[in-house]
Structures are given as structure tokens and as C-alpha cells.
Amino acid sequence: MDYRLTEEQELLLESVDELMQDFDERYFKECDEEHRWPKEFTDALLDAGFQMLGVDEKFGGTPVDVATLMLVSERICKNGAPIYVYGNLCALKDMTEYGSPEQQEQCFAEVMAGNPGFVLGFTEPGAGSDSSSLASTYQRRDGKIYLNGNKSFMTNAINCKYMLCVARNADDDATLPENRSRFSMWWVQLHDDEGNLMPGISMEPLEKIGWNMGNTCELHLQDVELEEKDLVGVEGNGFMQAMVNFEVERLIACAQSLGAAECAFEDAVKYATQRIQFGRPIGANQLIQEHITEMYMKIENMRNWVYKTAWMIDNGLPVQIDSAVAKLYCGRAAFEVCDTAMQVMGGIGYTKDCRISRLWRDQRVYRIGAGTDEIMIHIAGRAIQKQYNK
């Protein structure tokens, strides 16, 4: 495997660095404190074409390989951007693959306006890692479809016009094994053109430890009226449709974690060379050197996992084990790097004036979101054993 960057990749990353010179830590600190989406930044990414990387040309995007998508995700976060504001377009494959022309037009009109194309309505109060426990339902009555249920941890639902909602047919017996993963996807308008919630939809914002620039909501559906044309893809095949790009989405979380870890690491190492205690830089102390070396090792291990798994995807190789282990390792290691970087920074690292405190808060959720540590272990552990049970 050759990890050397192509000339095009180097130019692309240089463009990321140049763009982000206009968005320093003061800007992101202000957005974080105000719980405000960094729209000026995401609009700049859109104008420069980065938000449409990996999207088919017919939708106005620029096709790139997975490795390039990971490099850009890593570099954006390495420059200090919040780890959750880039890479969501990868999820748009659900719409580019299965959406109707009308649904695709509505989705990408939002994207080109600088908004999320949609929020994915999958997780529920009783259905997180156990997707088969999904309880939201749809039912046909009098020529219409009516949605009922509750969705949890809906990221950016407040500023999304549409939701891609996964629900089961109310007439199916969910206790039967053949129906446990029989879901369908529905295209649901959440807000009207004035930003008001559509009939039957209500939201409750959740206060979180981190991710302050993005809202997260509980969403409630009560007899939300749809039409047959709002079905996305094939009825009953919603689960498999949702999984179509899951491994790439999971790997983007790894690349973002890698970038955040690099950002925290560089801040801490620079501080260690400049902070004078007892007449010399603290970096001259062996314990600080140990912290720096441990962080460096973890970052390089993370990089190897991300780049190797991206290479495997681009070459058509199965990555069920590798994507799960990469997610498990990178989620843990990135938080450990941020935590150690805070230790090196000392008291200043624990203040909101230092971005390491934001990186530390934001990174912790990556051991939960996009697949918990425990589920990653289950996926990898089961698949590894299958290789030897022959």
C-alpha cells in the first residue's frame, strides 16, 4: 500500500489550509459559546466545493475516492474545525441511490443553500444499538400514510427541512423473525418554508456536554400525513438501504477523530516547548516527553487504520472487521490524545480559552455515536471468529 499523496490530493489539502486561515479559534469559540452553527464556515466549504466531494456529478458534486474524502475530513479537523460539521454529505448516498427525482431535487436544493440535506430518523428511545427494536410505525388509511413514533438524538433537526425517517409497517407482526428488520424509509418534511414545524411534528432540544454548535433533539411524530410518493426506495428494504454507505460514514468519524487528535497534539507540543518552569521548557522533562511520545504513537496508529481501511474500500475489499476495529481504536485513542494534551497544557487546557477543552468535550461522544465501542467489539469479534470456524 502506497500512502504517498497524489499531486491533486496535495493541492486539495493546501486549499483546505488556505480556506481555514479565515476561520481561527476565536470564531469557533464564539460559535461554541453561543450554541450557534458555524454557517459562515460551512458556506465557505460549500463555495469552495468541499461539501460536495464524493457526490456524483449529476447532482453537482465532485466524485473522489474514499481515501481523498478521508484526507480532507482529517485536514479540516486538524485545522481546529468542530469534528461534526463536515462529512455528513457522505450520508446523502441514501438519497442519491434510492430517492425519487423529486426527493433528490428537494434534498440538494437544501444542500446548495448551505443547509443539511436531511436528518436521518433512525435512533429511538428504545432502539439504539438494537435496531430491531425500532418502534415507529406507518399505516395506510384512506389513501394516505400516517407516521407515528419518537426519534432520539436527531442531530441538526432544528435546521433541517427534511427527515429520512425509518419506520416499520404497523400491520406487520414485529414479533416474527422475518419482520424484525423489515423497515421502510419515508421522506418527511419537518419544516415549512417559513421554518415552522409541520402538523403532527414536535421537537425537544437536548442539552449536551459537547457539540454545542449543533443542535440535538428528541422528535415526536403523531399522525404525520404522507403520500405514497414519499416512500424512499423499496418498501421493507429500509434497513439495507440505510446500511449502503455505513462503513464509509463510520470511517469518516475515524478521520475526523484523527484530525482532532492531531490538532490537540500540535497545540500541546508547541506549549511544551514554550512553557518555562524551573528555568526550562516543560518539554525537557522526561514525563512530558513520555506524554508526547505516547500521543504520537496513537496518532500514527490511527492514521494507519484510517488510510489502510480507505485503501481497502477503494480497492473493493471487504472491511467489516477493519472498519469496526478502526472505529473502536480511533474513538478511544483520539480521546486519550485530547486528554493527555490537556494534561500537558495544565490549568490553561481546562479553560474555555483553550481549544483543547472543546476538542476534549466534543471527542468523547465518538465512543458512542456511529456505533458504540461495545457494538464495534461485537461486530469485529464475531466476524473474526467466523474466519476460523471452517
316: Cβ contacts below 8 Å, ≥ 6 apart: none
Span 108-133, pLDDT tens digits: 999 888 888 899 898 888 877 777 78
Closest by CA position to 304, among listed 280, 290, 325: 325
Span 299-312, pLDDT tens digits: 999 999 999 999 99
As a whole number, mean pLDDT of residues 35-50 equals 93
3-state DSSP helix/strand/coil percent for the chain, to nearest 5? 55, 15, 30
For the cut 60, the answer to whether the pLDDT of residue 105 exceeds it is yes
pLDDT at position 27 is: 96
Domains of the chain in sequence order: 7-96 (1.10.540.10), 117-232 (2.40.110.10), 246-388 (1.20.140.10)
As a whole number, mean pLDDT of residues 208-225 equals 94
Span 5-36, pLDDT tens digits: 999 999 999 999 999 999 999 999 999 999 99
pLDDT at position 131 is: 76
Which helix (H) or strand (E) covers residue 185, if one does? strand 184-189
As a whole number, mean pLDDT of residues 173-194 equals 89
Helices vs strands, H then E, count in the chain: 12, 10
For the cut 90, the answer to whether the pLDDT of residue 255 exceeds it is yes
Q: CA-to-CA distance for 10 and 338, rounded, in angstroms? A: 26
Give the mean pLDDT of the chain. Answer: 92
Span 192-203, pLDDT tens digits: 999 999 999 999
Angle at 381 between CA 126 and CA 168, to 5 degrees: 30
pLDDT at position 155 is: 87
pLDDT at position 370 is: 84
Span 334-378, pLDDT tens digits: 999 999 999 999 999 999 999 999 999 999 999 998 889 999 999
Say whether pTM exceeds 0.85.
Answer: yes
As a whole number, mean pLDDT of residues 144-165 equals 93
pLDDT at position 217 is: 94
Provide the percentage of residues in the chain whose pLDDT is more than 70: 99
pLDDT at position 87 is: 64
Provide the percentage of residues in the chain whose pLDDT is more than 90: 74
Span 233-253, pLDDT tens digits: 999 998 888 877 778 888 999
pLDDT at position 245 is: 74
pLDDT at position 91 is: 65
93 touches 245 (CB < 8 A): yes
pLDDT at position 88 is: 57
Ramachandran category for residue 18: left, alpha or beta (phi over 0 → left; psi -120 to 50 → alpha): alpha
Span 58-94, pLDDT tens digits: 888 888 999 999 999 999 999 999 988 876 555 688 8
As a whole number, mean pLDDT of residues 168-172 equals 92
pLDDT at position 129 is: 77
206: Cβ contacts below 8 Å, ≥ 6 apart: 153, 216, 217, 218
